[in-house]
Amino acid sequence: MSIPPLYAHRLGRAYGPDSSATALARSLASGVDGLETDVCVTSDDELVLLHDPLLPLGTTLDGWAHQRSAAEILRARVLDRDREPTAERPLTLDELLAATPGDLPIQVEVKAHADPELARHTARILCERYRRAGERRRLELISFHSAACATAAAYGFRSRLVVWAEYAPEALAAWAVSRGVTGVSVEHFLLAPKLVAVFRLAGLSVTTGTVNAPELLARVTELALPDAVCTDRPAELRAEALRLEEANQTTSAALGAQPAPADVLVEVQCAEYPRVV
């Protein structure tokens, strides 16, 4: 199995709170092919790494991210999976870029709850800030919002639309190409070869997530060989996938070395040398 690049989902949420400094440090230490995180815009047009625009879902603060200043959000604490406050505070996109190697790809997912204009504004802020910086080459904007993806593409950034249904893929691919969107991220349970073929024939890159089990990674690799896979646990998933592949090869070799059952040999012999009565 050729393992595709593995990106740390929410900077590696198996290693620490979502998109936190701890998760990032552990992902970088264990080895990763790329990073994925979520970004929300603040009231003063800063970009903070938050999975949910509604602040109480992931932090100790209330209200919406776009209604709070960056200073307010950075004083909050990130919640863990049990919704308990941690010692971690939210990071900014600037902090993430400064803390990572300059050649490490980063997918930034624009979040805005049921607000395409806010998603478009967030994408515009990101593109304006980094369009002249070297960081532009390693940033890819992804989103459920087509407005955000189209905005990034208009600025010349790589962008990727998240696909949650297999309905009318030809129309979706045509729209993406017409807007300059360079890829799609397809949920792994939809990753059928026919669907992937439609996107690839249109020249679109295909990624998937979130995959945490080696059996799932083996299946999506066999079906589609995605260009990247998001996972909460990249180091462990890679090691487990390699062990699974080795075990499967060992089993196949053992089965191939077994002699044919006796009754099969008898049938073959009888067919070749019929008894004369």
Range of the domain at 203: 6-272
Task: Give me the DSSP letters along 60-81.
Answer: S--SBGGGS-HHHHHTS-BB-T
Tell me if 277 is assigned to some domain: no
Tell me if 88 is assigned to some domain: yes
**Of how many residues is the chain composed?**
277
* DSSP bridge partners of 102: none
At 204 the three-state DSSP class reads coil
Tell me if 1 is assigned to some domain: no
Looking at the structure of the chain, the number of domains it has is 1
Instruction: Please report how many Cα atoms fall inside a 13 Å half-sphere around the Cα of residue 179, on the Cβ side.
Output: 23
CA distance 108 to 11: 11
Cβ contact 100:35 at 8 Å: yes
Long-range contacts of 132-137 (CB under 8 A, 24+ apart): 134/102, 135/97, 135/102
Tell me if 198 is assigned to some domain: yes
Report which of 99, 117, 86 is spatially closest to residue 35, judged by C-alpha positions: 99
Long-range contacts of 214-219 (CB under 8 A, 24+ apart): 214/240, 214/241, 214/243, 214/244, 215/244, 216/188, 217/3, 217/241, 218/1, 218/244, 218/245
At 126 the three-state DSSP class reads helix
Per residue in 192-204, is it b (16+ CB within 10 Å) or e — as a string? eeebbebbbebeb
- Give the domain CATH number at 89: 3.20.20.190
**Parallel/antiparallel/unpaired status of strands 106-110 and 139-143:** parallel
Tell me if 42 is assigned to some domain: yes
Cα-Cα end-to-end distance for the chain: 55
Tell me if 157 is assigned to some domain: yes
Angle formed at CA 26 by CA 24 and CA 30, multiple of 5 degrees:
120
CA distance 24 to 146: 28
Rg (CA), the chain: 24
Q: What pLDDT score was predicted for residue 258? A: 57
CA distance 220 to 218: 6
Q: What pLDDT score was predicted for residue 123? A: 98
* DSSP bridge partners of 8: 35, 231
Express each pLDDT in 57-71 by its tens digit: 999 999 999 999 999
Digitized pLDDT (tens) for each residue of the chain, 277 residues in all: 799 999 999 999 999 999 999 999 999 999 999 999 999 999 999 999 999 999 999 999 999 999 999 999 999 999 999 999 999 999 999 999 999 999 999 999 999 999 999 999 999 999 999 998 889 999 999 999 999 999 999 999 999 999 999 999 999 999 999 999 999 999 999 999 999 999 999 999 999 999 999 999 999 999 999 999 999 999 999 999 999 999 988 877 767 765 545 443 334 343 443 433 3
